[in-house]
Structure 1
Amino acid sequence: MSTKRRVLASTAAIAALAMTLSACGGTDRADEGSSEGSGSGSAGEGDLSGELLIWAWDSTIESVVDAFEEANPEVDVELVNAGTGNDQYVALQNAIGAGSGVPDIAQIEYFAVPQFAIGEGLADIGPLGAADLESTFTPGPWGSVNVNGGVYGLPIDSGPMALFYNEAVFTEHGVEVPTTWDEYLEAARALHAADPNLYITNDTGDAGFTTSMIWQAGGHPYEVDGTEATVNFDTPEVKQFTDVWQTMIDEGLLAPVSSWSDDWNKGLGDGTIASLTIGAWMPTNLENGAPAAEGDWRVAPMPQWEAGADLVTAENGGSALSVTSASADTELAYAFLEFAAVNEGVQLRVDGGAFPATVAELEDEEFLGKEFPYFGNQKLNEVLAESAKAVAPGWQYLPFQVYTNSIFNDSVGQAYIGGTTLTDGLAAWQDATIKYGNEQGFTVN
């Protein structure tokens, strides 16, 4: 059947993301009855039937939907772009609260999974077969969809971090590619001294980047056990990051350009932003956003906090597909998840530019040997796959991380405009996070 697609606009404010323990219970769609699964068979068998509503902003999902419908002619999938990230989360929470219009499947970033899982908006798909898939995925993404002993999604991509850098700019100014963060600071100084318009990277304050850097340093600012949590940014691992990054801020070594803006793409294209430490999903974004720099960019391992130590990285971005508690057919929905995240859909998404979370793809010789013309025919995936293997274990997100990230710039973000320091900003962020969590019915210390 042909896939129906439509776009929903969300005008709700970010405050609508506030999710109390009592307000987040699972609800059925008002017009679709029971949430008990009624599907039969498994993805690819061709004997599935029914309807699915999927909310996802990732454009590669469209090809997966088409292939799933072709393999299962009696299934009709409606794919909706309800907004990217926070916009979709607002719309999803509003639908859950209203008990109507909730999709069967939603794309959810890893940091947001615990919030919807603990709020009972997502179904535990462990009993449907997901519990047996741990070895299928790399540890970082797999750990992110496991909450309180349940499995609340299947990873569809990952964002192990690496250093994307403009080799032409580094070579022109005789600057070595840094392997440690101390070397990175020196490289930032050298590039900016050579040309005041040149910066090693941009940063105007980003919660995801900040927590990923602390993650790589071995920090665990969030410790979560059910509805109890601890938030602590006063640790040696956090200080490792703030010492280097505060120096970068104080010396004016960071381009005052917001990521994903037109000025950001311009800087990446003309070389005035010379590197990014970012997730493995970045190549396609560089190709599309900075086409003028084709041939100049390369990828190297993420700089390390300790010289000579084994590679340690962190995740930055990535998302899962999750079955909602309101789904009228959880078995059919789970069949789509396996198709998209484990079976045929994986290669379709990789072909579309996604970076996989599956071990098989990351070890595949063809995948590893792929040359990227934009990057001077470098075999990027060799570097990125090693990064995926080196993600530091044990990271946790708060069960209200969406809200926590939304208030980052009210505190830590002020350090980038001289209103405070990173250390003081993190302390204020910690206090606001603890206050909010306790107000929502969690026990946060």
Structure 2
Amino acid sequence: MESNQATTPIQSEIPTESKKSFPKKLTLIILGGVLLFVTGFFVIKSLLSRNSTITTANEIVWWGLWEDETVLKTVITDYELKNPGIKIKYVKQSKEDYRERLTNALAKGTGPDIFRIHNTWVPMFKSELDKVPASIYSASEFSTTFYPVATSDLTAGANLVGIPLEYDGLSLYINEEIFEKAGKNVPNTWNELRQTARELTIKDENGTITQAGVAIGRTENVDHWPEILGLMMLQNGVDLTKPTSKLAEDALDFYTIFSQSDGVWDATLPSSTVAFAGGKLAMYFGPSWRSFEIRLQNPNLKFRTVSVPQLPKTEANEPDVTYASYWAEGVWARSKNKTEAWKFLRFLSESDNLQKLYNDTSKTRMFGEPYPRQYMESLLKDHPIIGSTISGAKTAQTWFLQSKTWDGPTGINSQINKYFEDAINLVNSGKESKIALEPVAQGVIQVLSQYGIKVQ
């Protein structure tokens, strides 16, 4: 500032004592030392921050998706108290572009120690997933502890590569008021569902649907059409890696008949979730977590879920087939903390801690994550929303036909979905299912080969 500027003194004729100058050599030494210190500081800082995900040697970084840190605080604190010197850093990730961000972080060497993956993502991450140590879960203990579908989904080669902390799958949502008013029973088979849907569909004088029976038949406004179609095909015995059989054609035709012929759902309607929440849809397919959205949109809606319909049984002891869609935790193969990371996941997956997580989560929403352990089924089997999900978990199957996994345009779910979406749209436009499925078979082989899956 101007007030701090020194004026040039007028030289006096009276000689003054000259000031001693600072030795130039010493000045250079000090400046060099300062420069060396500053340079060293930034070099060390750069090295320490190269892996920004891990801040200390004993800190385990965990990338999650759905739960807030406050919900996990109790179990994390419990573990840290029992394991002095270990710190757990939970980082809640946005679901948007999650798969791509995780892939990029791992490729750059800055990935988390623990990360969440969808049950169908193992082929995409198998090179980055550490195998579950036998000291954490042996193969036999894992298979008797968790549902069979988890053993199948979370295996790469001969190794287990993940631990589930929850389970979810497709259920049939019922608008109880619509059913009570019409005096209808809940359908148990697909034929019963089809008949009930026709009887519960209401149209005005112009033929516009004012109350839809069930949301099936389309792709643009049926939120979980991939899982519904996948369920139908698996129940019908289709090998989804070769979807060109008569069984696949029949399943595709049956899916589209609800819109094409029965007229219980059409393209003019809003998304199936919105329609059900608005009380304008009698039956809706979705996982348990959709109930949070439905309750938020319509707190007064009276609804529950039931098991998904089945095909008629050829034998009395023939098991039901349900459809799984859940998330699990994996450990990064290159993590320096993977031994402790696995110990933490074993701790989290114990029944007592799963119950703590469920109870703490239930304080912030309708219910917590459904338990992944088989013998905990009895604790939730009577729940009005997740009871049906848990009841069908032991006989669940699954495949890459999955919606809302946010795996990005190059992800295995998105690519597989697109081929089957095109097939549904072709049938709805009048093409034969056999013709519609031909490019699907070729596309499936191409997509699976990208992730090292060979079709026999």
TM-score, length-normalised on structure 1?
0.73
Aligned to 2:445: 434
Q: 1:89 to 1:189 in 2, by over 3 A?
A: same
Q: 1:427 to 1:173 in 2, by over 3 A?
A: farther
Aligned to 2:136: 129
What letter corresponds to residue 227 of structure 2 in structure 1? G
Contact 1:173/1:191, CA 8 A, preserved across alignment: yes
Contact 2:419/2:439, CA 8 A, preserved across alignment: yes
**Aligned partners of 2:434, 2:73: CA distance in 1, in Å?**
46
Partner SS state of residue 111, structure 1? coil
Q: 1:207 to 1:57 in 2, by over 3 A?
A: same
- The correspondence for 1:298, drawn from 287, 304, 313, is 304
**Aligned partners of 1:61, 1:273: CA distance in 2, in Å?**
36
Aligned to 2:231: 212
Q: 1:440 to 1:306 in 2, by over 3 A?
A: closer
Contact 2:136/2:346, CA 8 A, preserved across alignment: no
Aligned to 1:386: 391
Task: Give the superposition deviation at 1:162.
Answer: 3.0
- The correspondence for 1:358, drawn from 341, 348, 373, is 373
Aligned ranges 1:271-350 → 2 under 5 Å: 271-293=279-301, 296-306=302-312, 310-350=318-358
Q: Aligned pair 1:81/2:92, yes or no? A: yes
Q: 1:300 to 1:239 in 2, by over 3 A?
A: same
Aligned to 1:46: none
Aligned to 1:108: 117
Q: 1:302 to 1:437 in 2, by over 3 A?
A: closer
Task: Give the superposition deviation at 1:237.
Answer: 4.0
Task: Give the superposition deviation at 1:387.
Answer: 1.4
What letter corresponds to residue 359 of structure 1 in structure 2? Q
Q: Aligned pair 1:253/2:264, yes or no? A: yes
Aligned to 1:184: 193
Contact 2:170/2:325, CA 8 A, preserved across alignment: no
- Number of residues of Structure 1 aligned to a counterpart in Structure 2: 373
Aligned to 2:242: 232
Aligned ranges 1:157-172 → 2 under 5 Å: 157-172=166-181
Q: Aligned pair 1:155/2:164, yes or no? A: yes
What letter corresponds to residue 429 of structure 1 in structure 2? V
Aligned to 1:202: 215
Q: 1:423 to 1:51 in 2, by over 3 A?
A: farther
Task: Give the superposition deviation at 1:115.
Answer: 2.1
Contact 2:348/2:354, CA 8 A, preserved across alignment: yes
What letter corresponds to residue 125 of structure 1 in structure 2? V
Aligned to 1:45: none
Contact 2:116/2:328, CA 8 A, preserved across alignment: yes
Render the CA deviation track for 1:77-132: whole Å, top value 9, x for unaligned. 22223332x7211111112222x221111111101123211xx1110114342223
**Aligned partners of 1:363, 1:159: CA distance in 2, in Å?**
16
Aligned to 2:9: none
Aligned to 1:140: 149
Contact 1:208/1:405, CA 8 A, preserved across alignment: no
Structure 2 residues without counterparts, runs of 5 or longer? 1-47, 220-224, 362-367, 402-406
Task: Give the superposition deviation at 1:315.
Answer: 2.6
> For the aligned residues, what is the CA RMSD?
3.4
Render the CA deviation track for 1:237-289: whole Å, top value 9, x for unaligned. 4334223212113134335489xx9x544422222122223334444443334
**Aligned partners of 2:197, 2:136: CA distance in 1, in Å?**
48
What letter corresponds to residue 232 of structure 2 in structure 1? M
Larger radius of gyration: 2
Contact 1:69/1:75, CA 8 A, preserved across alignment: no
The share of aligned pairs that are identical, in percent, is 18
Q: Aligned pair 1:94/2:76, yes or no? A: no
What letter corresponds to residue 185 of structure 1 in structure 2? R
Render the CA deviation track for 1:152-198: whole Å, top value 9, x for unaligned. 11112222433221121123234432111111112222222466222
**Aligned partners of 2:432, 2:99: CA distance in 1, in Å?**
31
Partner SS state of residue 197, structure 2? helix
Contact 1:164/1:299, CA 8 A, preserved across alignment: yes
Partner SS state of residue 172, structure 2? strand
Structure 1 residues without counterparts, runs of 5 or longer? 1-28, 36-48, 222-230, 371-377
**Aligned partners of 1:65, 1:326: CA distance in 2, in Å?**
26
What letter corresponds to residue 300 of structure 1 in structure 2? V
Task: Give the superposition deviation at 1:324.
Answer: 1.1
**Aligned partners of 1:236, 1:349: CA distance in 2, in Å?**
46
TM-score, length-normalised on structure 2?
0.71
Q: 1:61 to 1:390 in 2, by over 3 A?
A: farther
What letter corresponds to residue 123 of structure 1 in structure 2? D
Render the CA deviation track for 1:203-251: whole Å, top value 9, x for unaligned. 5434333223323333332xxxxxxxxx201235433422321211313
**Aligned partners of 1:219, 1:280: CA distance in 2, in Å?**
26
- The correspondence for 2:251, drawn from 241, 244, 254, is 241
**Aligned partners of 2:432, 2:78: CA distance in 1, in Å?**
55
**Aligned partners of 1:423, 1:65: CA distance in 2, in Å?**
53
Contact 1:242/1:423, CA 8 A, preserved across alignment: no
Task: Give the superposition deviation at 1:316.
Answer: 3.2
Render the CA deviation track for 1:330-381: whole Å, top value 9, x for unaligned. 11111221122234431133332211111232133xx4455xxxxxxx5x55
Task: Give the superposition deviation at 1:72.
Answer: 1.1
Q: Taking CA–CA contacts closer than 8 Å with sequence separation of 6 or more, which of the two structures ends up with the larger relative contact order?
A: 1
